[in-house]
Structure 1
Amino acid sequence: MRILVPIAHGSESLETVTLVNVLRRASIPVTLASIETETVVNATRDIRLVADAAVSDILRDDFDAIILPGGEKGAERLAQHRPLIEKLSAQRVAHRWYGAVCAAPALTLSPHGLLDGKQATCHPLFRDRLLHYVDQRVVLDGHCMTSQGPGTTMEFALAWVEKLAGDAERKRLTEEMLVHLH
């Protein structure tokens, strides 16, 4: 199993780190990949993230899931990266997992038709950009999962663990990390 988490300058640092951390705690291999020319990405809140690879070096690889963190500027940059959008489109056509959190459903996925016919959520500030907005913390529709923002990312990450590694692994991590979801 292989998961891709692409990032750009302006990606939401809390969402990125939470996703990667929780998936790796479940022993799910995650590649944190930069769309930028460098692997050090200036994320939100003046936090620098160091990617494992450049997206351009791994585009030929297959991934079981591609998950986008939010951050308005980062989501806009991801949306402009044609090779990544083509990879996401291929992911959807192949019925493989993909998803996004915060601004990314509205600013990256939706403009490229990747949410067409799907119920999804995003940060409420961008809700008018989704055709089928659902006001829930995490929304699953087919092989697409979306979430609302930094405060819902732990829940989002654990939902990915459940889909990719099973309910028992999600429960184990929930207990280990002392997570109490509402």
Structure 2
Amino acid sequence: MKTYIFLANGFEILETFSPVDVLKRCGAEVITVSTEKDLFVSSSQNNIVKADVMLNEIDYKDADLVVIPGGYPGYVNLRENKEVVDIVKYFLENDKYVASICGGPTIFSHNKIANGAKITAHSSVRKEIEENHIYVDVPTHVDGKIITGVGAGLALNFAFKIAEQFFTKEKIEEVKKGMELI
């Protein structure tokens, strides 16, 4: 299972690295992708992180999942990046998974992708989501191949909801036990 997680300046650390951690523990190949001018991306907390690769270096068609984290202004930078939007469209058109959390799900509403889908997101973007989608007031939600979450405080729930789509219940329980969650 191969995952690309997109990073833009202003990304939220917990929403990005909770899926990185959980999916790697499950055995996935997880690659962070800079959408900036180089590999160094600044979080919304002003921490500098070095991504694994640049956006122009990936062959996104070989992945099973892309993740759009939140964080301000990271999610705005991602939803306005034509390449990222085109990749999200490709994934949904080709029955592949897209996961997004916090303000990240506005990539769907802002670009009129997957209209009518049931999506959760941070409460601050609810009105925008409701323009073309059905807002679901739950911590995480799966609608077909779209996985969404509400925000940083529930980033681990989001990460495990993603993992549940790809790994067995036994593997998930093993990972949770290793993390002292059960």
The TM-score, its normalising length taken from structure 2, stands at 0.94
Aligned counterpart in structure 2 of residue 153 of structure 1, from 152, 155, 164: 155
CA distance in 2, matches of 1:102, 1:84: 17
Identity %: 25
Please list, as runs of the form range in 1=range in 2, the aligned pairs for 1:67-106 lying within 5 A after superposition. Answer: 67-106=67-106
Partner of 1:162: 164
- Structure 2: unaligned runs, 5 residues or longer: none
Q: Which runs of 4+ in 1 moved over 4 A?
A: none
Query: Does the CA contact (< 8 Å) of 1:59 and 1:83 recur in 2?
Result: no
CA distance in 1, matches of 2:85, 2:62: 14
Query: Does the CA contact (< 8 Å) of 2:105 and 2:121 recur in 1?
Result: yes
SS of alignment partner, residue 72 of structure 1: coil
Query: Does the CA contact (< 8 Å) of 1:75 and 1:103 recur in 2?
Result: yes
User: After the TM superposition, which of the residue ranges 169-178 and 132-141 deviates more from structure 2?
Assistant: 169-178
1:2-39 deviation line (CA, Å, top 9, x unaligned): 10100100000121111111111111001100000110
What displacement does 1:72 show? Answer: 2.3
1:51-99 deviation line (CA, Å, top 9, x unaligned): 0000111145421001111012001111111111111101000111002
What RMSD over aligned residues (CA atoms) do the two structures have, in Å? 1.3
Query: Does the CA contact (< 8 Å) of 1:11 and 1:44 recur in 2?
Result: yes
Query: Does the CA contact (< 8 Å) of 1:33 and 1:51 recur in 2?
Result: yes
1:32-52 deviation line (CA, Å, top 9, x unaligned): 000001101011212111100
- Structure 1: unaligned runs, 5 residues or longer: none
SS of alignment partner, residue 41 of structure 2: strand
Structure 2 residue 128 is the aligned partner of structure 1 residue 129: yes
Partner of 2:176: 174
CA distance in 2, matches of 1:146, 1:6: 15
SS of alignment partner, residue 45 of structure 1: coil
CA distance in 1, matches of 2:91, 2:82: 14
CA distance in 2, matches of 1:114, 1:34: 22
Partner of 1:22: 22
Partner of 1:112: 111
SS of alignment partner, residue 145 of structure 1: strand
The TM-score, its normalising length taken from structure 1, stands at 0.94
CA distance in 2, matches of 1:113, 1:59: 24
User: Which residue identity is paired with 2:173?
Assistant: K
